[in-house]
Amino acid sequence: MTPLPHVLARGVDTLLDRTVAPGFTRVGPAVRRRLPTWPDDPAPGALAGRTVAVTGATSGLGLTAAEGMARLGARVRLVVRDVEKGERVRAQLLADVPGTDVAVDRCDVADLDDVRRFAAELDVDRLDVLVHNAGALPAERTESPQGHELTMAVHVLGPVLMTELLRERLAGHDARVVLVTSGGMYAQGLRADDPAYRCGDYSGTTAYARSKRAQVELLPLLASRWAGQQVGVHASHPGWADTPGVVESLPGFHRVVGRLLRDPAEGADTTVWLSAVQPAPRSGQLWHDRRARPTHLLRRTRTPDAERDRMWDWVRATTGLDG
């Protein structure tokens, strides 16, 4: 029988989650860390001897996640578009985490040809953790070099293709793939009928949320596809975190909610935890503040299996997975 304090704690945790605003802000971790149901931190050195790669690692949640994993002993690959900026971050990490092993790799995740080049040139024989953190939220409809809508390219097509191309190096040793998603996806249903966002007036925030919804909807299919190689896949939504991307892309939201936003460490906490905790969490789930969460809060966003399969067919065809 579950002790009463744990039952009450789970009730508080769930209430924070379902009411959204309190749980997504800094209030969420401030309360949850004091509950008896809060999971233990990863053991010191939990990632010693393991290699992790983090996309979009030059600022915000990506930089903080890379630093958190370096402090747990990981060898870190910073996967970035701007190598000069990446080298500055590398120098910062070497100063903040003495003795760590950090390298910089160039890759534009939106460019599928560049993803293929990166995977072919990555000079590691084994990869233990791959964090897909790179993000985009354009004000106007923008296309990737291959002509795909940018948010879908950065958040779905690039990460799926990159993982597939690195699958042999991830396989066979409890490797983990983490998609950094967004609570904004709760407001959007899957649009398998219009993945390129060609219908209706374009909204960057809507496109962003749709692509994050696609990430989450594909989780069970990706978990099944990669299970044979012992590669687990997880999605982690950070809540509302104070990052340069939020300031730049959502200035009005930042002005209104700024004081309640999480700091980057609170936003990246679950990503680091998922990458290091033992035993490995069950693959194919959405996580927030170290607990698996429902993928839908609204009935109107629920996804029929046929729509999920239709989106997966588009991803496979667009990335050439089965070609």
Tens of pLDDT, residues 37-54: 999 999 999 999 999 999
Instruction: Give residue 1's pLDDT band: very low, low, confident or very high (50, 70, 90).
Output: low
Strand pairing category for 285-288 and 291-293: antiparallel
Model pLDDT for residues 264-304, shown as the tens digit of each residue? 999 999 999 999 999 999 999 999 999 999 999 999 999 99
Residue 121 pLDDT > 90, yes or no? Answer: yes
Model pLDDT for residues 204-216, shown as the tens digit of each residue? 999 999 999 999 9
* SS3 category, 105: strand
Strands (DSSP E) contained in 181-284 are 231-236
Model pLDDT for residues 140-188, shown as the tens digit of each residue? 999 999 999 999 999 999 999 999 999 999 998 889 999 999 999 999 9
* SS3 category, 236: strand
Give the pLDDT confidence score for residue 323 in this predicted structure. Answer: 61
Domain ranges of the chain: 1-38, 47-319
**Contact status, residue 112 vs residue 157, Cβ threshold 8 Å:** yes
Residue 5 pLDDT > 70, yes or no? Answer: yes
Q: What is the pTM of this model?
A: 0.96
- Token pair of 247 as six digits: 């300031």
* SS3 category, 121: helix
What are the residues whose beta carbons fall under 8 Å from the beta carbon of 97, sequence distance 6 or more?
Answer: 67, 70, 71
What are the residues whose beta carbons fall under 8 Å from the beta carbon of 274, sequence distance 6 or more?
Answer: 176, 178, 234, 236, 281, 287
Annotated active-site positions, please? Answer: 208
What is the pLDDT of the chain when averaged over all its residues? 94
Which CATH number is 47-319 given? 3.40.50.720
